[in-house]
Amino acid sequence: MTVTHSNAPARPFRWRAGAGRVLAGAALLTAVGVLPWLSGADPALTVLRARSADQDPTPEQLVAVREQLGLDEGPVAHLVRWLGGDAGASWVSGEAVLPQVTAALSVSLTLMLGALVVTLLVAALLCARTVFLGSRRRLGRDRAGTAAAVLAALPKFLLASLLATVCGVWWGWFPSSGWEGPQWMVLPSLALGIPSGAMIGGLLGQSLPAAFHEPWAQTAYASGMPPSYTARNALRRTLPGVLPQFLPTVVALVGGAVAVEKIFNIPGLGRLALDAAVAQDLPVLQTSTLALVLLGVAAGVLVRALRHGLLGRPLRDGALPGLHQPELAPRRSLRWVAGACALALLALGTAGLLRDPLHVDTAARLLPPSVAHPLGTDSLGRDLLARLGHGALRTAGVAFAVTAVSAVAGLLLGLVPRASAGLTEVVATLPAVLAGLLVAGVTGPSVWGAAGAVCLVGWTPYAAQTAALLEQERAGGHVAAAVSLGAGRAHLLRRHLLPAVVPALLRNALLRLPTTVLVLASLGFLGLGEQPPTPEWGRLLSENQPYVELAPWTVLGPAGALVVLAVLAVSGSTVLANSASRRTGE
């Protein structure tokens, strides 16, 4: 009887999730299919420029391209033909689409596997101390996870440039360009895997103390069970709550690794999709998007199967105890670290606001830090301190707004997992750059258009996390007891479900804050977001990235500011979590 009760909702859930995947995938592919007509630019002109870089084609040339590509037929005819199984040929190169996409996908999957290995190693290293102390009942203080915050805040394209320059060019340890064998994947795997591993490790490290303070862990310690037993089962207990974060991570390693692929000259799927979107090469773009959607759906199904396999019968039978953070004493230095970071950002903003961020002095190009220019100058001779200071409020304000909107949207959609599961998996496959192109086609390039594009895809990690934690909390005996005593939905949501979800969601959002800054910067760099010469931290990184080897101080300032912002965000989330835990205990 118990089995029937627990498994009965499974089939409707799978049916709804499958229908959601199909509908969301169809909507995404349709939106991509109308991109050349949605953008407002002449597709024939864009394709012709991509073919020959001819900036002033004749009307006869444009007419010939329209006839050749059938642009006068409209998007519906092209979409129907593509859905019929005809991937066609590239509008730009004339080559068959399927071999291009297949070759790029194989490269990206190989790179993804290497990056996942690095991700798991970095996450394991960051959690090793918590696992060691927790399995021996010696975890007495809350760790803010500042190391994870610092590594997660490292821009992937900046890390890729440093690795290519230092390990590839200066030391000659590994190849710095191309894709010809296993040794070519080492540096790009490190560039992609280190920040991703820090993200996963930071979330896992924040969840482990709750598992080590469960009654079974205390009983195991009192019974003399070895620490390895407690560590293994604590990881098994907490991994299901973190596994959904692998879905956006996997997609980012494939579709969002455009900058790293360009720096290392890797012919991957993300680079192919972006080039096709910029050139409005519809056949290549549609097939690349389909490959990303299928990859995301497969990853989502695999993650769900792993979660259910790790949690096992307690999840199916509704006998899973809830994970609740213990009241660990915060580190004495935590408030000092948070205060120092806040003062540093305040001093940076105040000092920069007293200078002119737009003054160009070609005689002072790429000057190192000095009394006149404390952070040096950029390639146009503009003062970097001034640009950092003037960009601080705009950068932090837009990033906080985007993060807040994405987190709230993810929370609301995650509360209805039966309706949003398929949608989450499909939207998570959409790279932010491609979303930016779709939004810019409607609203035009602007900072708020870029913010809307990031919100369009940025809610998926929070929705996946909310759905996973919600499923685990609903399987707890205390929820069943509350229902049997007559508790309504509002009471369950306020007293049980939201307290189990919101603290973890808040930590995830603050840990992803610097990543939001960098995604907004990448859209601005492509002309889809903040337009130059407006100072903005991510744009400063993008603009000065080519000068890393010649003038490293041009990127150290904005990169350091991002790291300080990340440490402040994580420290603040830990303080808030401790305060919320004390209020709940009262």
Confidence of residue 256 (pLDDT cuts 50, 70, 90): low
How far apart are alpha carbons 583 and 325 in whole angstroms? 12
What is the per-residue pLDDT for 415? 87
Decide which of 40, 66, 86 is a domain's last residue. Answer: 86
Q: What is the 3-state secondary structure (H, E, C) of 511-528?
A: HCHHHHHHHHHHHHHCCC
178 shares its domain with 112: yes
Tell me the C-alpha distance between 193 and 249, whole Å: 9
Q: Does 251 lie in the same domain as 203? A: yes
> pLDDT, tens digit, for every residue of 373-394?
999 998 889 999 999 888 888 8
5 within some domain = no
The pLDDT score that the predictor gives to residue 477 is: 66
pLDDT at 585: 46
Q: How many domains does the chain have?
A: 3
The pLDDT of residue 231 = 92
**Lowest mean pLDDT: which of 197-206, 463-472, 562-571?**
562-571
Q: What is the pTM of this model?
A: 0.80
Angle between helices 227-242 and 97-135 (to 10 degrees): 140
- Which tokens sit at 21? 């995947």
pLDDT grade for 409, boundaries at 50, 70 and 90: very high
Least confident of 91-100, 209-218, 405-414, 572-581: 572-581
Residue-wise pLDDT tens digits, 520-540: 776 766 667 677 777 878 778
What percent of the chain shows pLDDT beyond 90? 8
526, part of any domain: yes
| Inside any domain, residue 18 | no
pLDDT above 80 (res 419): no
Q: Indicate if the pLDDT at residue 430 is higher than 70.
A: yes
- Helices 227-242, 186-212: inter-axial angle, 10-degree rounding: 110
Residue 119 has a pLDDT of 92
> Looking at the domain assignment, is residue 171 inside a domain?
yes
Same structural domain, 362 and 511: yes
The last residue of one of the domains, among 286, 317, 348, is 317
36 or 565, which is more confident?
A: 565
Predicted confidence band at 549 (pLDDT cuts at 50, 70, 90)? Answer: confident
Q: Is the pLDDT of residue 126 over 70?
A: yes
Judge whether 402 lies within some domain: yes
285-335 tens-digit pLDDT: 888 888 888 887 788 788 888 888 887 777 766 667 666 677 666 666 667
Quote the mean pLDDT of the chain: 79
Residue 454 pLDDT more than 90? no
More confident position, 577 or 566 = 566
Give first-to-last CA distance, the chain, whole Å.
39
Residue 535 domain-assigned? yes
Whether residue 284 has pLDDT greater than 80: yes
Quick one: pLDDT at residue 159? 83
Look at the chain and count its residues: 586
On whether both 182 and 313 belong to a single domain, the answer is yes
Evaluate whether residue 301 is within a structural domain: yes
Question: Which pLDDT tens digit goes with each residue over 258-272?
Answer: 778 888 888 888 888
Residue 225, judged by CB atoms within 10 A of its CB (0-12, 13-18, 19+), counts as middle
Same domain flag for 291 and 362: no
Q: Are residues 277 and 400 in the same domain?
A: no
- Residue with the larger pLDDT of the pair 241 and 479: 241
pLDDT in the model for residue 382: 92
Same domain, 419 and 550: yes
**What per-residue confidence (pLDDT) applies to 525?**
62
Instruction: Give the residue, 133 or 144, on which the prediction is more confident.
Output: 133
Q: Which residues contact 176 (CB under 8 A, 6 or more apart)?
A: 164, 165, 167, 168, 169, 187, 264
Which residue has better confidence, 359 or 249?
359
Q: Is residue 385 part of a domain?
A: yes
Residue where a domain terminates, one of 53, 86, 119? 86
Both 435 and 519 in a single domain? yes
- 380 with 520, same domain: the answer is yes
Residue 476 amino acid letter = G
Residues 69, 111, single domain; the answer is no
Q: Are residues 114 and 213 in the same domain?
A: yes
> What percentage of residues in the chain have a pLDDT greater than 70?
83
Regarding predicted confidence, which is higher, 439 or 99?
99
Residue 2's pLDDT band (cuts 50, 70, 90):
very low
Q: Can you give the residue range of the structural domain that contains 77? A: 27-86
**Residue 238 sits in the same domain as residue 133:** yes
Which domain CATH number covers 566? 1.10.3720.10
Is 140 a residue whose pLDDT tops 80? no
